[in-house]
Amino acid sequence: MTFTAAAIQFEPTLFAKDANIESLAELVEKAASDGAELITTPEMATTGYCFHDGEEAATVVEQIPGPTTGVFEEIAARRDCYIVLGMPEVDPDSGLFYNSAVLIGPEGILGTHRKTHPYIAEPKWAAPGNLGHQVFETRLGRIAMLICMDLHFLETARVVALQGADVICHISNWLAERTPAPYWISRAFENNCYVIESNRWGLERTVQFSGGTCIIEPDGTVAQRIDVGNGIVSAQIDIRRGGWGLPERRPELYRELQINSYAWNPLDFFTLYGHAPLPTGATSTVSVVQCTPGTSVESNLADIESWVERLSGSTDLVVFPELSISGAVSEQRPPREIAETLDGPSITRIAELAVRRDVSIVVGLAERDAETGRVYNSAVLIGSDGACTAYRQIHLSAEHRPLFAAGDSWTVVDLPTGRVGILVGNDALLPESGRILALRGCDLIVCPSALAGTFVGSHPGTEIPHAAEVPTGVDALHWHHMRVRAGENNVYFAFANSIDPSRGIHGHSGVFGPDTFAFPRTETIVDGSESGYATCVVDTTHLGGPYPTTVVRRKDLVLMRQPHQYGTLSTA
């Protein structure tokens, strides 16, 4: 159940395969002699990465098994350990080249992963991987392998997590941001498994790689890390901490994950047959309010009114926390005793406020269905014209499952700001939620929340010489899980979290932009864990021409998905 894992950070020399293999073997031997039973190396560690074309790659590719894997098979057998090796592979039957990772154990080669989701560099020489996303049984537990860009796509890690992966070995040549990268941390956190990360460092053909090799625990804690230089980082892996299962999923509602609505120009796709075209778009402002809803509905309504009065004139849309009208619920204060219908006095009062102040408002309440009597944890978006749209939370927390009925449909609303999707709190912890709203063309996701626990993390700074605009210093909010939610879906994400230290709820509200690799980042975060607000500009405009001119409308990371790889996500 417990073993030592080691992640190697290494700077290979382009084309110097023999020397690279010799140096890697020495590092693997050192890690094994120090007690590591699972050892990872970076992507393309044997050869370097930046090939101009297939002719260059042809000088270093090998079959698996082959001479290179033979070197590490011998070490694995002698040291009784497992090794994940990154290398370029040639398929003997097709002649195609692949960017591959091979898992080698004491008994030999256990399996190969071919990078499925190419970065801009792979199409110069390599085909997309054709082996899917596999999990390999070992005496250490269930091990999966992903390569660099694979992890940008929430589906890949989710697919292996659903196969019971205890550890994801992610080998990479990550660049263009300070590492350990927020994406790495979120994949461990949302899938409740370890991520062992081997990244390269150094400069190759003008490309600066980011280092930051690390081991990430299932709660998102970075156990150990390296900044610059060749080296080894190790940590104890206790697979009992992860692998116990994922938050309650609703796979019957995830079938849209099997389609790609961005395979065609979205400006054409979403106008097809004249049905539900995207809004024209606008430059607008969105605000989130961080506060503590109390047990008095009247007091909560007065608080909402006060914030809206304060923000009106400077914002177009304001988002309040989960249950911002009703206040926190529990077995002692059950929602059935305070629930209201959508045409009840509270929503009527907020609708009048929205019209009076010419602002759209998102609030949360315990909603009673007028026909069935069921009670839902709902968010209500009230437009500046007074029109109300409710979303009933689909993914209930363990605390709320005995108290609320679960919703069964996603909600999207078109406003002048753009297309807006709605989630509530716990929904945002399941990556499928945001992805479905992105596939429906959302520009903005609003998320009233009362999320407890830690979903942010700091960074001590890096010595890697990044481009001037990339932050490299100490940062208390280097990782924010909701920033990842925004970036992976190329949406703006308005996260309004409440504050209640007695329940472990500490705010960290913010509005996050659609491109996490654009610096300085488009985002605003509420300072500290006190009451406050954050306002950010949201730009969904189009500059003209046949194709989208902004990432929020183009959705690069949605376009590059490979839905045929994700079938298990919508299987019960």
Distance CA 145, CA 42 (A): 12
**Identity of the amino acid at 31:** A
Q: Which of 11, 37, 43, 256 is catalytic?
A: 43
Residue 124 bears catalytic tag: no
Tokens of 201: 């460092």
How many Å apart are CA 491 and CA 50, to the nearest integer?
A: 31
**Tokens at 478, concatenated:** 């280097």
148 among known catalytic residues: yes
Determine whether 179 is exposed, middle or buried from the number of CB atoms within 10 Å of its CB (0-12, 13-18, 19+): buried
Which residues, including other chains, have CB under 8 Å from residue 4's CB and lie 6 or more apart? 34, 35, 36, 37, 38, 234, 235, 236, 237
Ranges assigned E (strand) in 301-443: 317-319, 360-368, 375-382, 388-392, 412-415, 418-422
Answer yes or no: 115 catalytic: yes
Task: Starting at the earlier edge strand, list the strands of the sheet with 492-497.
Answer: 412-415, 418-422, 444-449, 492-497, 510-512, 523-525
Q: Which residue in 81, 148, 193, 536 is the catalytic one?
A: 148
Q: Which two tokens stand for residue 186?
A: 């979120």
Please report which residue ranges of 168-290 form alpha helices under DSSP H.
182-191, 266-269
> Is the peptide bond between 42 and the residue preceding it cis, with omega within 30 degrees of 0?
no
- Token pair for 128: 């997309």
Kindly state the DSSP code that residue 131 receives in the 8-state scheme.
Answer: S
Q: Say if residues 17 and 46 touch (Cβ distance below 8 Å).
A: yes
Catalytic residue, candidates 115, 214, 432, 523: 115
By annotation, the residues acting in catalysis are 43, 115, 148
